[in-house]
Amino acid sequence: MHQPVTAQQALQSARDTRCLEIGHGLLSRVPRIFREQFGDRSAVLVADRNTFAVAGREVAGALKSAGISAPTPIIFEDPNLYAEYSFIDKLESALQLHNAIPVACGSGTINDLVKLAAHHLGRPYLCVATAASMDGYAAFGSSITREGSKQTFLCPAPQAIVADLGVISAAPVGMSAWGYADLMAKVPAGADWILADALGVEPINRNAWNIVQGRLPELLSDPAGVEAGTPAAAGKLIEGLMLSGFAMQASESSRPASGAEHQFSHLWDMQHHTHRGRAPSHGFKVGIGTLAVTALYEELFRQPIENLDVDRCCVAWPDLDECIAQARAALQSADLRRVAVQEIAAKHCDREGLRSQLLKLRDAWPELRERLQRQLLPLLDLQHRLLAVGAPILPEEIGISRERLRRSYGQAYFIRRRFTVLDLAVHTGLLDECLAKIFGPLGPWPIVGETTGGHGSLA
């Protein structure tokens, strides 16, 4: 049962964030909020060229007018700026020139860079959000690419967050659609957590669950308003994204907000995927991942798992060395193979462990299936919502072919130890059968000439 939670109520459960303000005309109030949180410390603005123009310049001027000591702002000029570790090193070098509290002015990349750099230097920070584009503002942890691998580095969320709806609503076309798709991903992420809880793998943290899931239907209710940039819809969206971050703070984990759908995005990140010369947004990749995961759930619901042949599954189950060999065969890059070996070693179970899990699944399936169906939104509904918000619903729209999407199911299974629907499909031996339907003539993404079997194999 979901218990609705407001952002201010969720703030009471946050480990790191002490202040959240969402509203209109808030940039001029940043100095007051800064002083309330950090006293007479100096402040240094961190932004890129775009975010400095839309909000950073005004914030810097307000800080100066309020008499708050402020070194020269740190402005990233690189047009290819992204959340990569080399930029952490550059930011730390700049911050080490003084003891000022960073004021991150931006969205995903700026916030993640400042979050980790500030943590390394033992400083809190304040975030001025410039777009409702992702859920990482209030998240515990920073998602950074290092040595070719997308990793979550544990570090505190901002002590204070300011979201001016005038700035948020005026963000470039598409950024709110990114955020809407990221928020929608909490639907299948919740299903994956229900699954992990039911099988005794990872119990649900009820407080974190209510924070992220309690108002999710309401906060996802107006995709057309988000696309149109109405302040009311922008306010709901940014609140939902903040709630997601607070849930991660409350649980000290990304589990409340991230399931198998994020594994698709992380896989494509680690494969350095680009489309038309640029990496697609995190939100759009997660949106396609959400559709992919939902399609898999819907095919599994059609399977008689309550009659699963557990003995057959156990006989077919590979040992750890065989599973690692499958991962190496499925993944091309050395970085991905290295990650897969670590993650598979952490989550692999022997045949007796598999038997115990599958017996529990078989007995619980009729009731568990109903719970999962109540949690999930139908695939067609998700597609309509994404269309209304201006987000892609076909993998080709982000440069992923249908053949590649099909391969991605098996590859994504290998790169994270978190138990999700991908693990369920692999453990039951049903992945290939489900993929044959998803990419068959009557599936959501038919592949010309596709019949059954083949590409979904983990090998």
**Which string of DSSP letters, residue by residue, matches 36-93?**
HHHTT--EEEEEEHHHIIIIIHHHHHHHHHTT---PPPEEE--TT--SBHHHHHHHHH
| Dist. CA 455–CA 162, nearest whole Å | 47
Phi-psi region of 76 (alpha: psi -120 to 50; beta: other; left: phi over 0): beta
Tokens representing residue 143 in the block: 């998602």
The pLDDT value given to residue 80? 82
| Dist. CA 321–CA 338, nearest whole Å | 14
Tally the C-alpha atoms within 13 A of residue 257's C-alpha that lie toward its C-beta. Answer: 31
The pLDDT value given to residue 450? 63
| Dist. CA 395–CA 1, nearest whole Å | 34
Residue 96 burial class via C-beta count within 10 angstroms: exposed 0-12, middle 13-18, buried 19 and up: exposed
The pLDDT value given to residue 239? 95
The pLDDT value given to residue 449? 72
Q: Please, which residues have CB within 8 angstroms of residue 229's CB and are 6 or more apart in sequence?
A: 169, 170, 176
Tokens representing residue 8 in the block: 């201010």
The pLDDT value given to residue 451? 55
The pLDDT value given to residue 285? 98
Alpha helices in 96-185 (DSSP H): 108-120, 165-169, 175-184
Alpha helices in 175-277 (DSSP H): 175-184, 186-198, 206-213, 216-219, 223-228, 231-251, 260-270
Tokens representing residue 147 in the block: 């040595």
Kind and range of the H or E element at 151? strand 149-153
Per-residue pLDDT of the chain (459 residues; tens, 9 = 90+): 577 888 889 998 888 999 999 999 999 999 999 999 999 999 999 999 999 999 999 999 999 999 999 999 999 999 888 889 999 999 999 999 999 999 999 998 999 999 999 999 999 999 999 999 999 899 888 988 887 777 889 899 999 999 999 999 989 879 999 999 999 999 999 999 999 999 999 999 999 999 999 999 999 999 999 999 998 999 999 999 999 999 999 888 899 999 999 999 999 999 999 999 999 999 999 999 999 999 999 999 999 999 999 999 999 999 999 999 999 999 999 989 999 999 999 999 999 999 999 999 999 999 999 999 999 999 999 999 999 999 999 999 999 999 999 999 999 999 999 999 999 999 999 999 999 999 999 999 999 876 544 333 443
Tokens representing residue 13 in the block: 């459960």
Report how far apart, in Å, the C-alpha atoms of 411 and of each of 90, 298, 324, 336, 420 are: 33, 20, 12, 9, 14
Output the pTM of the full model.
0.93
